[in-house]
Amino acid sequence: MLEYEDILDVHYPFENWNLYLKYPRMNLEDRAKIFSPFAALRGHTHALSETADSIFEISEEELLEDSKNELEEIINEIIFQLQCSKKVQVRVSYFVENALSVERKGVYQELVGFVKKVEIEEKCLWIENEKISFSKIRSIQIDENS
């Protein structure tokens, strides 16, 4: 014998129809509002996002002398190709400092695009509309297919 077999075919007893008319069934939209999420801890979501941002922020890495020389060679190659009126597409990894960070922390970003110009005096590289200082560049690669 199955559990509850004796009541499976029994209809719901509406002995008091006035009660059913007084308290009609709630529509699905109103029922959904009852169970909608709420902020039990005010500001908790904001605090979590701030913590996550600070966890992923790092200090800028100092490049070794060999890496600096390699970057200088690549930048000279870019200057040469630009002087020959060639379009130069590069992939650059560079440090972006968080303006709100007291400890000078930030993140490394990667940008792929065509070099517009190289400013030797200001020691910066223009890729598309982004100005990147030589000192912030961690790595740079010239795309040979450009």
pLDDT tens profile 7-47: 777 776 666 666 666 667 778 888 887 776 666 677 777 77
Compute the distance between CA of residue 126 and CA of residue 59 in angstroms, rounded to an integer.
24
For residue 9, tell me if it sits in a domain. no
Domain membership flag for residue 6:
no
Residue 5 inside a domain? The answer is no
Question: Domain for residue 2, yes or no?
Answer: no
Q: Which domain holds residue 120?
A: 16-146
60 lies in a domain?
Answer: yes
Among the listed residues 95, 58, 89, 60, the one whose alpha carbon sits nearest the alpha carbon of residue 74: 89
Asked if pLDDT for residue 102 goes beyond 80, the answer is no
Kind of pairing between the strands at 89-97 and 137-142: antiparallel
> Which of 54, 141, 46 lies closest to 89, judged by CA?
141
Domain-embedded: residue 121: yes
Counting the structural domains of the chain, the total is 1
Per-residue confidence (pLDDT) for residue 56, from 0 to 100: 63
For the chain, the average pLDDT equals 80
Q: Span 94-121, mean pLDDT?
A: 84
Residue 4, in any domain of the structure: no
In a domain, 84, yes or no: yes
